[in-house]
Amino acid sequence: MDMDEQLWSEARKICRICLRIDPRSFDIFNSYYVERNTLYCDMLAYCTKYILHPKDGLPPYMCRNCIEHLEDMYEFHLDCEESEKNFLWLLSVR
């Protein structure tokens, strides 16, 4: 591996969101949020409306802290959808 490749390999470990390097980072294209059996990249795309691709040239990692934010945000989105669905159902049966 030459110097450029080594630098690029290190740079790719940077968190895609906060730009920190965390040894507990997750590869978002290969790691799942176990509670929902959902890939982190799909959760990020769902919550942000970004179009993500493993070959988009951006770092594929997110640090533990940002992953925790993503899990909370994803759960919040699901809660919003669920409550809206429930209210719409209640309105439909009145």
Which positions lie near Zn ion, rule CB under 5 A?
Answer: 15, 17-18, 63, 66
Percent composition of the chain: helix, strand, coil (DSSP 3-state, to 5): 55, 10, 35
Q: Which is nearer to Zn ion, 41 or 66 (by Cβ)?
A: 66
In the complex with Zn ion, which residue's Cβ is closer, 18 or 58? 18
Q: How far is the CB of 46 from Zn ion (least distance, A)?
A: 18
Report DSSP state, residue 93: T
Q: Of the two residues 13 and 38, which places its CB atom closer to Zn ion in the complex? A: 13
Nearest approach, Cβ of 42 to Zn ion (angstroms)? 18
Tell whether 47 is in a known binding site. no
- Is the sign of the CA dihedral 82, 83, 87, 90 positive or negative? positive
